[in-house]
Chain A
Amino acid sequence: MSEITETGKRQAIPDRLGTPVSRLLGSWEVLLFGVAVVIFIANSFASPYFLNAWNLSDATFNFTEKAMIAFAMAMLVIAGEIDLSVAAIIALASTAMGAAAQMGIGAPGLVAIGIGVGLTCGAINGALVSVLKLPSIVVTIGTMSLFRGISYIVLGDQAYGKYPADFAFFGQGYVVWVFSFEFVLFIVLAAIFGVVLHATNFGRQIFVIGNNEFAARFSGIPVERIKFKLFLLTGLMSGIAAVCLTSRLGSTRPSIAQGWELEIVTMVVLGGVSILGGAGTIAGVVIAAFVMGLVTFGLGLLNVPGIVMSIFVGLLLIITIALPIVARRIKHMRTK
């Protein structure tokens, strides 16, 4: 019977919730924030170049693009779905922008194309999941292969360069002092997503769907329509991330953003979003973005190769999910 009680979302409601302060201190976000501070301090000891405003500003580029997608992915995961095609959408959107740039289209047109491709891909995923009622994990594995595959057909082993000069602003520009356009966009998006998820009807409905889709339908929540919107939103954010990334790199290869879907899912899960759906916060994802950005940037300063870093990311993913489960089990054994 352990199968049903443990993977299910039924949880015992404790008799006392504790004081607001103790609850806050015990929350995942505060714990994660502590981890971020520790990594920050460790980094500043590990490398003398770390504590420098410009260097820290550079470090943010490590996670801003991924975090933008992670916000939308968090909503999707909370609603009980997942989108593994996000990195492939970036590749396709970037390829489309590259092709357009070769034809001499200016920066505003390129942005519109990138976002348009993102929305289209999101709509395809959304339609397959919500209209045809297919499991999102397989659908997005399929579309992941399809979207990136189209990039490979278009580009093969070639690359697009030659983007217009004013297009560079989105990935390389600074708004004020060391605050890059990407970082400001990241903060603004975090605020918007935080409000939408935690302070609107729409956000509440997402939680309801993730906690109990069955009950959500009986309460008159348009489950399929909301899921479609969430896939559309994830596509939109992938398109925006594609604009930023393409602008930052100034070139497009079909292998662009390879493996990002894993890092984005890791970010979401590390941020305390339940992979089974129904729980999570945007604040957690923001802190998780900082943690992952700092870890990879710190390892980069220590000359650790990217593929070894991916071991850390994989371990981080499994450990962060396993820890609460193990902790809960130990607690459970004690109360018994």
Chain B
Amino acid sequence: MKKLLKHRELLLVGIIAIMVAGFATRAPGFATPGNLANIFNDTSILIILALGQMTVILTKSIDLSVAANLAFTGMAVAMLDAAYPGLPLALLVVLAIGIGAALGAINGYLVWALQIPPIVVTLGTLTIYRGMAFVLSGGAWVNSHQMTPGFLNFPRVSVLGMPLLSWIAIVIVVLMWGLLTRTAFGRAAYASGGNPTAAVYAGIDIGKTRFFAFVLSGALAGLAGYLWVSRYAVAYVDVAAGFELDTVAASVIGGISIAGGIGSVAGAVLGALFLGVIKNALPVIGISPFAQMAISGIVIVLAVVFNARAERRAGRIILRDRGAKEVSA
């Protein structure tokens, strides 16, 4: 199994490299280190969100509310910054993470304590959180001139040749890698998705593990909310509409099994980069940006087909694993 996973990530690296090389033949500047760093910076927010999504998916759940969470938190901190320019940036960032975590905790609580299927909970909170962003702002925009320069410039500060946004993503990748491979929570997350029954017998509280996965996903969405608003220098209700699908797509492309228990941090990062490269290449090779949605759709379906092939055990399965059905409910 481990060999297969290793193989898969190498395969993704290879595909991304071929794509970059292919695009470079059409647009010579595409493969330069500067442009690649730009693509990474552009994909940073997706990487951060995909890592949260991945943790939730590992526990056999799904979080469709991340983009709405991002929109609400982004709006909240942008309005705070506009209304009280004196607030220190660190406080706002902590607030963003805190609000995001609280919204994630609501999802997690409903999944944990009331045992409502995660897909239903997050479909519901998706509309609720985005609706709350509207109620909070009254439908108004927060524009760049209303926000303080410190608030706006933080992700753009260049450290060792790369913007801080990229560094934040790198730090989170490392932290998430540590969390998922080196802590009890990480192991519990894999176990409660891989085989819930066995996990219960091993003394793992599945509900609690899912709860913390949702809190983590929410916290990362909150952080991404601040980063998004400051990077694009505008906050409005429809910020990142539909972005939750990109996070699911990145996870699925990266080999994270939607049935839970399988996947790696490297996979999620590569999945996000895969989408990032396509997104940045489309305008360069002259394809309408309107095509992006259809392309992600095809990529999601293909990735699911590919994953199912890889996970399928040898021999013909007449009766599917009963544990694997739960997530579809």
Interface of A toward B, CB cutoff 8 Å: 1-4, 6-7, 80-82, 128, 132-139, 141-150, 152-153, 156, 213-214, 217, 259, 262, 265-266, 269, 275-277, 305, 307-308, 310-311, 313-315, 317-318, 321-322, 325-326
Contact = CB atoms under 8 A, between A and B. Distances in A.
B128 A314 contact: yes
Contact of A80 (B120, B134, B301, B328): B328
Contacts of B322: 214
A262 B308 CA distance: 26
B56 to A, nearest CB: 14
A135 B135 contact: no
A334 B122 CA distance: 31
Contacts of B216: none
A145 B296 contact: yes
19 contacts: A3-B207, A82-B119, A133-B308, A134-B304, A138-B248, A142-B300, A149-B292, A149-B294, A153-B294, A156-B288, A213-B325, A275-B120, A310-B128, A314-B123, A314-B125, A317-B124, A318-B116, A322-B116, A326-B114
Nearest to A124: B301
Given A81-B328, A321-B120, 10 more contacts: A4-B200, A137-B258, A145-B293, A149-B292, A149-B296, A153-B288, A262-B127, A315-B124, A321-B116, A325-B115
A318 B125 contact: yes
A134 B308 contact: yes
Given A156-B288, A321-B120, A135 B200 contact: no
Given A142-B304, A322-B110, A322-B116, A313 B327 contact: no
A128 B305 CA distance: 8
Given A138-B248, A314-B128, A149 B301 contact: no
Given A217-B318, A322-B114, A325-B115, A262 B328 contact: no
Q: Which of under 10, 10 to 19, 20 to 34, or 35 or more describes the interface residues of B? A: 35 or more
B117 interface: yes
B196 interface: yes
A143 B196 CA distance: 29
A95 B127 CA distance: 26
Contacts, number: 164
B298 interface: yes
B200 to A, nearest CB: 6
Given A4-B197, A7-B115, A136 B328 contact: yes
A124 to B, nearest CB: 9
A247 B139 CA distance: 30
Contact of B297 (A149, A156, A275): A149
B115 A6 contact: yes
Nearest to B133: A307
Contact of A152 (B110, B200, B293): B293
Nearest to A148: B293
Contacts of B295: 149
Nearest to B293: A149
Contacts of A2: 207
Contacts of B196: 3-4
Given A275-B117, A318-B120, A139 B304 contact: yes
A317 B124 CA distance: 6
B279 interface: no
Contact of A135 (B127, B131, B259, B296): B259
A126 to B, nearest CB: 13
Given A138-B300, A146-B301, A308-B131, A276 B117 contact: yes
A323 to B, nearest CB: 10
A152 B289 CA distance: 9
A134 B128 CA distance: 29
A133 B130 CA distance: 34
A306 B329 CA distance: 28
Contacts of B304: 128, 134-135, 138-139, 142
Contacts of B121: 318
B297 A269 contact: no
Contacts of B127: 259, 262, 310-311, 313-314
Nearest to A136: B328
B110 A147 contact: no
A137 B62 CA distance: 10
Contact of B134 (A132, A269, A275, A308): A308
Contacts of A149: 290-297
Nearest to B302: A142
Contact of A262 (B126, B206, B288): B126
Given A311-B128, A326-B114, A153 B297 contact: no
A314 B131 contact: yes
Nearest to B237: A307
Contacts of B139: 305, 307
